[in-house]
Amino acid sequence: MTAKKSLKFLISAGPTREPIDPIRYISNYSTGYLGYEMVLAAKKRGHRVVLVSGPTAFKKPAGIKSIDVITAKDMLKALKDNIKWADCLIMTAAVSDFRPKKAQLKKIKKDTQKTTLQLVKNPDILKSLKPYKKGKIFIGFALETHNLYENAKKKLKSKGLDIIVANKKGSKSACFGETDNTYYIIDNSFNSNILKDKSKSYLSQYLIDKSFKVWYNLYK
């Protein structure tokens, strides 16, 4: 059997939005930039890509299948539908951990007496996809404000990842959008590599190449 030269990457990007009513939602500051850079980096190396994207302002990269989603539940479904196809899942999406218990069908008016929003937990997408992991590599991200290493290592283990990319959201370091940042790439033996002050484009190419090496060593 000849060795594979390219892989199939399933990449999630952007935020999810969880509706409160037809006008409002809960979300986060994710722009989707990292996920779209990841798609370009994979394409540049000749890999095949399916993109599952929450709402972003970016144009869909040409020549790949992309699926638009809004909520975390939509994102989970789209990823489940495509996970069997993939060799490598890269979960850059900033999934909303909570959603309003009930999205109101009509706009909530400001003279309402009920001013408390009841939230329920969304599924953890990476954990939900664990049963499909055999023969694949999973990569996740951890954006933390404190205890960066400890939190990232816990996520790496609890989500069954091969690699986690940790970075810190401090008051100075901007993590959303196009600015450079410092990334800690941690593998499942807790070996880590630091990429200091690198662009998301640099990080993306590094991770795509690393994924290929890890996949090749495990499953070739």
Give catalytic residue positions.
Answer: 28
Nearest to 124 by CA among 175, 162, 160: 160
Longest dimension (CA), the chain: 69
Minimal distance, residue 123 CB to ligand CTP, in Å: 6
Distance between CA 49 and CA 57 in Å, rounded?
20
Stretch that binds ligand CTP, among 41-49, 117-125, 175-183, 201-209 (CB under 6 A): 117-125
Any idea of the CA torsion for 66, 200, 161, 96, to the nearest 10 degrees? Answer: -60
CB of 141 to ligand CTP, least distance (A): 4
Select from 51, 14, 58, 39 the least CA-distant residue to 208.
Answer: 39
> What six digits make up the tokens of 219?
């499953």
**Interface size with ligand CTP, residues (CB under 6 A):** 15
Say whether residue 122 binds ligand CTP (CB under 6 A). Answer: yes
Give least dist CB 106 to ligand CTP, A.
28
Cα of 59 vs its chain's centroid, Å: 18
Distance CA 143, CA 95 (A): 12
Binding status of residue 212 toward ligand CTP by CB under 6 A: no
CB 55 within 8 Å of CB 74: no
Site residues (CB under 6 A) for ligand CTP, limited to 124-143: 124-126, 140-143
One-letter identity of residue 135: G
The answer to the question of residue 156 lying near ligand CTP (CB under 6 A) is: no
Interface of this chain with ligand CTP, residues 49 to 78, rule: CB under 6 A: 72
Q: Is 74 exposed, middle or buried (0-12, 13-18, 19+ CB in 10 A)?
A: middle
**99 or 115, CB closer to ligand CTP?**
99
Single out the segment in contact with ligand CTP by CB under 6 A; choices: 3-11, 55-63, 80-88, 122-130. 122-130
Minimum distance, C-beta of residue 152 to ligand CTP, in the bound complex (Å): 8
Site map for ligand CTP, 75-114, x if CB under 6 A? ----------------x-x-x-x-----------------
Which two structure tokens, joined as six digits, stand for 169? 């959201």
Positions that interact with ligand CTP (CB under 6 A): 72, 91, 93, 95, 97, 122, 124-126, 140-143, 155, 159
